[in-house]
């Protein structure tokens, strides 16, 4: 009767600091999140272990997994494949653990298709939240600079729409607190709790 | 362009400790919640101030407000009316403050009708979460005791269905943390954040 874990996907525009936030989250001693181990075709670096740092695979093995639809998301960078193995995620969720994925926006959209019930968090650059102040002071800035900033802002606001939550990365610690609050709140959702108790009652009577 | 605050309603079975949790929440110096001041027809006690402890009204005034649909919820106890004035709640929300209400289950159902977008939190007695363990050890308990416990549990599980979140009151501090996490998470909901930015963009361009 273990309750299935949550799949938590952290994503956002490149350069927003997803990796830093993820490292901070996992440096906390009381974290109950399980980091999703990626799969790659690149060679292990000194000290990297298979099944801990990455699942290391040959190109052929990786392509077979793509073919068999065994990757939640994947991409090719500088001649190597990187991806998230669906079986590992699925088994960890079934054990009742919350799985945490930190990936690029394109990957997040792929994951959403396979796990629509996942919890998708958009890490927002503080530049966007400063937008309003900047608009107010724009008298002092060039038209080009303002137009470019507006274009980026518009793209980021559109990007958000694929997510469930938006967390501003103004300070890494604050961003982590918000992410942990979201996870706590999701575990308190009535559907989840009520389903658990209804199962207990049914099982016993 | 102030974002409307959230209406947070804490309720649950009588005796679960709603008042204790509410007091603990408001004893925290960094709370940003605004406690909703109740209206009553009972006389002020020593030291109680109008507009701080309660809004004190005559019976006639109160009945006129009921008539005019100006109470979010109300009830009569030992000859006195108690209720939540809708105007105060509405004005506070419009200032962008989160309003916190702690009320009985019947009142919560009334509030839900007027504010379906509110955040309804069910405070769950720890006796319910201990249900599973108790079932396992039931060999040592009388049939009557078990049946009665099951009846109560069934009622509580059904009560939950009208709420958005369920928070176990195993420890007051933990319950408060969960409630604050729920409030934080709700402020990070994409619809809220995205709406705010879309408004900024529209207002400026």
Of A121, A135, A182, the CB nearest to B204: A135
Any domain includes B154: yes
B17 pLDDT above the threshold of 70: yes
Q: Residue A8 forms beta bridges with which residues? A: A100, A119
Exposure string over B157-186, b if 16+ CB within 10 A, otherwise e: bebbeebbbbbbbeeeeebbebbbbbbbbb
Say how far apart CA A121 and CA A112 lie, in whole Å: 11
Q: If residue B119 lies in a helix (H) or strand (E), which one and from where to where?
A: strand B119-124
Nearest to B120 by CA among B107, B136, B138, B139: B107
Domain count, chain A: 1
What are the tens digits of pLDDT across the range A53-97? Answer: 899 999 999 999 999 999 999 999 889 999 999 999 999 999 999
A1 pLDDT above the threshold of 60: no
- Mean pLDDT (chain A, rounded): 90
**Considering only CB atoms, which chain B residues are within 8 Å of A182?**
181, 184-185, 188
A3 pLDDT above the threshold of 90: no
Any domain includes A91: no
Any domain includes A61: no
Say how far apart CA B52 and CA B64 lie, in whole Å: 22
| Structural domain containing residue B183 | 7-36+97-204
Whole-angstrom CA distances from A169 to A16, A36, A120, B57, B191 are: 7, 22, 15, 48, 18
pLDDT value of residue A136 = 57
Any domain includes A55: no
What are the tens digits of pLDDT across the range B28-82? Answer: 888 889 999 899 999 999 999 998 889 999 999 999 999 999 999 999 988 999 9
The H-assigned helical ranges of B68-125 are: 86-94, 105-114
The confidence band for B202, taking pLDDT boundaries of 50, 70 and 90, is confident
pLDDT value of residue A29 = 84
Furthest CA-CA distance within chain A: 72
Percent of chain A with pLDDT over 90: 66
pLDDT value of residue B205 = 55
The confidence band for B109, taking pLDDT boundaries of 50, 70 and 90, is very high
Whole-angstrom CA distances from A189 to A193, B39, B168 are: 6, 31, 12
Nearest to A164 by CA among A192, A125, A122, A128: A122
Any domain includes A44: no
Say how far apart CA A84 and CA A9 lie, in whole Å: 12
A137 pLDDT above the threshold of 70: no
CATH of the domain at B103: 3.40.50.300
Of B122, B190, B205, the CB nearest to A163: B190
Q: DSSP 3-state assignment of B17?
A: coil
pLDDT value of residue B133 = 65
pLDDT value of residue B149 = 81
Any domain includes B46: no
A138 pLDDT above the threshold of 70: no
Q: In this structure, are residues B5 and B88 in contact, taking their beta carbons and an 8 Å threshold?
A: no
Q: DSSP 3-state assignment of A80?
A: strand
Say how far apart CA A100 and CA A98 lie, in whole Å: 7
ipTM of the complex: 0.88
Any domain includes A115: yes
Residues of A at the B interface, defined by Cβ within 8 angstroms: 1, 121-122, 124, 128, 131-132, 135, 150, 153-154, 157, 160-161, 163-167, 177-178, 180-182, 184-186, 188-190, 193-194, 197-198, 200-201, 204-205
The confidence band for B127, taking pLDDT boundaries of 50, 70 and 90, is confident
What are the tens digits of pLDDT across the range B150-164? Answer: 888 888 889 999 999
pLDDT value of residue B201 = 81
Any domain includes A92: no
């Amino acid at each position: 009767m273990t309750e299935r874990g949550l799949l938590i996907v952290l994503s956002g525009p490149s350069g927003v600091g997803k990796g830093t936030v993820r490292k901070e989250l996992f440096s906390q001693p009381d974290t109950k999140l399980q980091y999703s181990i990626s799969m790659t075709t690149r060679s292990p670096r000194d000290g990297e272990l298979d099944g801990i740092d990455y699942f290391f695979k040959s190109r052929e093995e990786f392509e077979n997994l793509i073919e068999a639809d065994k990757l939640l998301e994947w991409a090719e960078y500088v001649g190597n494949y990187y991806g998230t193995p669906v079986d590992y995620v699925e088994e960890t969720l079934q054990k009742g653990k919350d799985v945490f994925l930190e990936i690029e926006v394109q990957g997040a959209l792929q994951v959403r298709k396979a796990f629509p019930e996942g919890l998708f968090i958009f890490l927002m650059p503080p530049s966007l939240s400063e937008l309003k102040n900047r608009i107010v002071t724009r008298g002092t800035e060039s038209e080009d600079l303002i137009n470019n900033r507006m274009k980026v802002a518009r793209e980021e606001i559109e990007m958000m729409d694929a997510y469930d939550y938006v967390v501003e990365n103004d300070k890494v610690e604050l961003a982590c607190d918000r992410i942990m609050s979201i996870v706590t709140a999701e575990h308190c959702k009535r559907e989840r709790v009520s389903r658990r108790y209804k199962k207990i009652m049914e099982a016993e009577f």
